[in-house]
Structure 1
């Protein structure tokens, strides 16, 4: 069952999908097709992709009338909002055209540098953007639980974040793991840049209790597992989220699309979408 209201409760949203030939692109296209209040209006992929020129919904055995194209203006000309789960450089190129055309953006891409994040914030002065490292409703509720746990366990507990993803993921730690670290550090009044530890090897000495450790596992087809360990004396608390399907990311993205329907400018995240502020 899809998480979408009937077409009578919200206006139809015309959506373009970046990376339309990929696994996440397929999941998004399927979710848009099933949502009564959404319509596929554009499909983008890089030049040279084998999907270029084909119908975006052909993998479903369905004809949408929307071809996959590499030209950004062609792919975005009929869209109100772009959903983008690609790579940082590609997302920024897409965003520049969105800004020019007045197309909103839902960004699930991870791995942005601070300078690239600043570019996105600048674009949000002209269009509405929802950006989050993980669109899953469950993951974002987990962020809130971590904020609460960090405040309650602020002393006497060592904090470690362990994440696992499929062999094709190109960035580490995952954007979700980093967001978990940022949420925890913020709750503790720290800056993640100053307290994160990303690698341990050899004789490292005793653990600094003020640090937040990260471990990344890559293998197989793991969609995404994240565990935060609060290890104290005589006990440990583990808060875990496991994704079994990318469908959760797609449904979260559509919730973001609906949230942006009433916004014209600004940079938002899933806490805004879900009312978790």
Structure 2
């Protein structure tokens, strides 16, 4: 699989490049950065701090290199991601997108693109997070309305979207297991004064501080007992490895909307 990495100097793009450079099943053909960056024109290995030159360029013009790839991996910004999506569709290239913060209308554009290209969208590419998602689905399917559900997510001070894409996905999975829509039952934080808990809702709480890596805990509160399921990432390497697994998975896949659950071989929950 010939791969283009979007945003190779970003925290995720850099790690994805480093991981992909060590894999025998992936061949890096270019990196694409935002226009005007001082590293445009440099070697991808140098920009991503791989430890050696890779002999491929970093450009700010995706269209100039897109025909020499099989799949694009994009963990950039939501603004850049929409441009990348448009180019991927126009050139018929597979796309792995892990960027978050999209509106429902923007997510719909990714689903529409899947009618023409292999499209894999993943709010979180960690294997363990997606195992956690299966556990959440199982717990809610068994306990249903016997518990109150609260989600606590923590990220660094630079995280823009609130709540995180991962915690939004967790809520969606649990809501489906309850036979509900997350938009109808989500509660975001609680303000000063009286704010009684409404049964059947899912509460979201977001912390942003320092350089805290991604951390998610789901609390299931029952009477006289409590269950907690937590995932901590020590750094972003787990997400980079998962992103590369997603890219390799799309080899020879037809057009369609794929998720990391497909990559891991999980049976999908009923929609």
Asked if 1:192 is matched to 2:182, the reply is yes
Over aligned residue pairs, what C-alpha RMSD do you find?
Answer: 1.1
Listed as ranges, the gaps of 5+ residues in structure 2 are none
Residue in 1 that maps onto 2:16: 28
* Deviation readout 1:162-193 (Å, 9 max, x if unpaired): 00011111111000000000000000111000
Residue in 1 that maps onto 2:147: 157
Residue in 1 that maps onto 2:207: 217
In the alignment, the residues of structure 2 paired with residue 179 and residue 140 of structure 1 have an alpha-carbon distance, to the nearest angstrom, of: 10
* Deviation readout 1:240-265 (Å, 9 max, x if unpaired): 01111211111111211121113120
Q: Is the 8 A contact 2:17 2:50 kept in 1?
A: no
In the alignment, the residues of structure 2 paired with residue 211 and residue 229 of structure 1 have an alpha-carbon distance, to the nearest angstrom, of: 13
Q: Is the 8 A contact 2:3 2:72 kept in 1?
A: yes
Residue in 2 that maps onto 1:71: 61
- Could you tell me which of 91, 110, 113 is aligned with 1:120? 110
TM-score, normalized by length of structure 2?
0.95
In the alignment, the residues of structure 2 paired with residue 226 and residue 205 of structure 1 have an alpha-carbon distance, to the nearest angstrom, of: 23
Residue in 2 that maps onto 1:50: 38
- Could you tell me which of 266, 274, 277 is aligned with 2:256? 266
Residue in 2 that maps onto 1:97: 87
- Could you tell me which of 73, 82, 86 is aligned with 2:72? 82
In the alignment, the residues of structure 2 paired with residue 68 and residue 236 of structure 1 have an alpha-carbon distance, to the nearest angstrom, of: 50
Q: Runs of 4 or more off by more than 2 Å in structure 1?
A: none
Listed as ranges, the gaps of 5+ residues in structure 1 are 1-12
How many residues are aligned here? 265
Residue in 1 that maps onto 2:168: 178
SS at match of 2:150: strand
* Deviation readout 1:29-52 (Å, 9 max, x if unpaired): 101111011111110110122221
* Deviation readout 1:107-139 (Å, 9 max, x if unpaired): 101111111111111111110011010000100
TM-score, normalized by length of structure 1?
0.93
- Could you tell me which of 25, 50, 62 is aligned with 1:37? 25
